[in-house]
Amino acid sequence: MSTLKPVLSRTFQLILVLWAVVTILFLMFRLMPGNPLAAYIDPTFTLEQQEALIRQFGLDESLLRQYFTYLGNLLQGELGYSFRYRTPVAERIWLLLPNTLILTFSSLIVAYIFGILAGAWLAWRRASRAEAFALPIVLATRAMPEFWLGMVLLAIFSFSLGIFPAGGTRSAGTEYESLWSLYTSADFLSHLALPMLTLAIYSQGLPLLLMRSNMLDVMKEDFVTMAKVKGLSPYTIVIKHGARNALLPVMTSFAISVGYQLQGNVVVESVFSWPGLGRELVSAVSASDYPLAQGAFLMIAVVVILMNLIADLLYTFLDPRISHA
């Protein structure tokens, strides 16, 4: 009962936010200046052909009507037709989403494992020379433009050293039975390495700094002092009490990071020719393919919102002060 409550109320909130984002998206794309189809109407078209195209995309209806059609379609999981590809947007997006998710999650998992360990270590070595050296570097990694980092890594590890391939998810023409067999293949992993590393280097700063500052805070808590007074071993004190408590917000931040990372992917996917949602969004936007851009945007927004919810719930479930209220 007590665990159901936050889930319900947060889910309710999520639906509201989702609706608001969907509406903003709709307005954003419909109220843009100019004819949305302009880029796709060939000058040689007759007036009838032009009108047919406008009708085909339902752009002749009133704004309100378009809005309700759009909402109705969304409820059925339809995102309309791409202007450019003339095919259903949802189809393309479902094809690209797994690539984006695997990149996002693999990089974050690496970033979090490293960040948590390094953060705990730096907290342990607080006020040491190691810290004075490491902190500015960590802060600088968060200040790097991701695409720049990606390009530099590409230049070193791919162009110069030839260790990793320069882009894509697999070698030309290779075939896999399923996504799973693809994702577990050495070929895929070697393609994943550089973009994953780029994102991981950028992302590790958050868990690292968070872990470190939480550890430092926790180590000042009364219960840690009491653990010392109890004569418990340093391992118990630092790991079981310090790290365990410090981890809580770090775990929560993971979900939020997924949302953030998805946004960062937009640039990195373009650098590494990664066939994901971000690159699709960029190319759809440059091509004025409104329905596709809208669909890709919406999908990213949904993941962001979902992850915000999961972060909230994680916090609720992981902290016994809330879950056992």
Partner 1 sequence: MKTLFKLASTSLVGMALLAGPTWAQDQIRTIHLLSRPQAAQPAEFQAVQLIAQEWRKLGLDVEVDVMPWEQMSSAVWYDRDKWDVTAWQMTGRPERSDPDEIIYNLFHSSTAESGYNFIGYSNPEYDAVVEKQRVTIDPAERQKLVRQAQEILAKDQPNMMLVHPEQAFAFDKNIWEEDSVVNQSGIGIRNTWTWLSLAPKTDQKDIIVNSSDNVIAVNPLYISGVTDSFITELLYDRLFRVGPDGLPTEWAAETFEWRDDKTIAVTIRSDMMWHDGKPVTAEDVKFSYETTTGGEAPMYAPFGQSISSVEIEGDNVVVFTLTNPSASFITSSLAKINLIPKHVWEPILADLATKEENAESYQEEMPIGSGPYKFDRWLTNEEIVLSANSGHFNAPQAERWILRLVPNAEAALGMLRSGEINFLTDFAGDPQVLIDAAEADGDIEVVSTVDIGFRYVAFNNRRAPFDDPAFRSALSSAVDRRLIVKAAFKGFAVASNSVVSPALEFWHDKAVVENFKAGPDIAKSMLDEAGYTIVDGRLAYPEGVKETLGE
Partner 2 sequence: MTTPLVEVENAQLHYRVGSAVSAMMGLPSVVKAVDGISFSLNKGESVGLLGESGCGKTSMGRLLVRLENVTGGSARFDGAEISQLKGRALRTFRSRSQMIFQNPFDAVNPRYTLAKTMAEPLANAGIPKSEWRDRIIKALELVRLADPEQYLDRFPHQLSGGQLQRVVMARALILEPDFVVADEPVSMLDVSVRAGVLNVFREVRDKLGLTAIYISHDLALVRYVCERTIVMYLGRIMEDGPTEAIVREPLHPYTQALVAAVPTPNADQSHEPLPIGRGAPDPRNPPSGCVFRDRCPKAFDRCAAEVPASKKVGTRHVACHLFDEAG
Partner 3 sequence: MLETTVPEGPVIRIFRAMKLPVGDNFAMAGLIIYVIFALTAIFAPVLAPYEPTEILYTVDYDLASDLLPGQEGHILGTTSLGRDIFSQIVFGARAALLVGLTAAFMVAFIGTIVGLISGYYGGWVDTILMRLADVAFGIPFLPFVIVISAFLEPSIWNTVIAMALVLWRDTARVIRSQVLTLRSRGYVEAARVSGSSDFKIILRHIAPNIVPLSLLYGSIAIGWAILTEASISFLGFGDPNSISWGFMLQDAFASQALSRQAYHWFIPPGLAIIFVVSAGFFISRGYENLLFPKLGR
What does the binding site for partner 2 look like in residue numbers (CB under 8 A)?
A: 1, 5, 8-9, 12
CA–CA–CA angle 42, 276, 23 (5° rounding): 70
- Interface segment toward partner 1; rule CB under 8 A; list 65-73, 86-94, 258-266, 307-315: 86-94
Q: Name residues whose C-beta falls within 8 Å of residue 250's C-beta, 6 or more positions apart in sequence.
A: 112, 115, 116, 119, 207, 210, 211, 214
Comparison of 5 and 228: residue with beta carbon closer to partner 2:
5
Q: Which of 278, 291, 298 is nearest to 86 (CA)?
A: 291
Comparison of 94 and 223: residue with beta carbon closer to partner 1:
94
The contact set with partner 3 (CB under 8 A) reads 13, 16-18, 20-21, 24, 28-29, 32-33, 135-136, 139-140, 142-148, 151-152, 154-155, 159, 206, 209-210, 213, 217, 249, 252-253, 256, 259-260, 262-264, 266-267, 270, 278, 281-282, 285-286, 288, 293, 296-297, 300-301, 304-305, 308, 311-312, 315
Question: Do residues 157 and 150 make contact, with C-beta atoms less than 8 angstroms apart?
Answer: no
Q: Which of 260, 286, 256, 282 is nearest to 271 (CA)?
A: 282
Q: Which of 256, 273, 270, 265 is nearest to 297 (CA)?
A: 265
Residue 271 engages partner 1 in binding (rule: CB under 8 A) = yes
- Give the amino acid at 299: M
Alpha-carbon Rg for the chain in angstroms: 24
- Interface segment toward partner 1; rule CB under 8 A; list 101-109, 243-251, 256-264, 274-282: 274-282
Residue 173 engages partner 1 in binding (rule: CB under 8 A) = yes
Q: Which of 98, 74, 99 is nearest to 294 (CA)?
A: 74
Residue 148 engages partner 1 in binding (rule: CB under 8 A) = no
Residue 6 engages partner 1 in binding (rule: CB under 8 A) = no
Residue 96 engages partner 1 in binding (rule: CB under 8 A) = yes
Question: Do residues 111 and 203 make contact, with C-beta atoms less than 8 angstroms apart?
Answer: yes
Distance CA 197, CA 194 (A): 5
Comparison of 125 and 230: residue with beta carbon closer to partner 3:
125
Residue 225 contacts which entry, partner 3, partner 1, partner 2, none (Cβ below 5-8 A, type-dependent): none
Residues binding partner 1 (CB under 8 A): 34-35, 38-39, 41-45, 49, 52, 55-56, 81, 84-87, 92, 95-96, 151, 154, 158-159, 162, 165-173, 175, 270-273, 275-276, 279-280, 283, 286-289
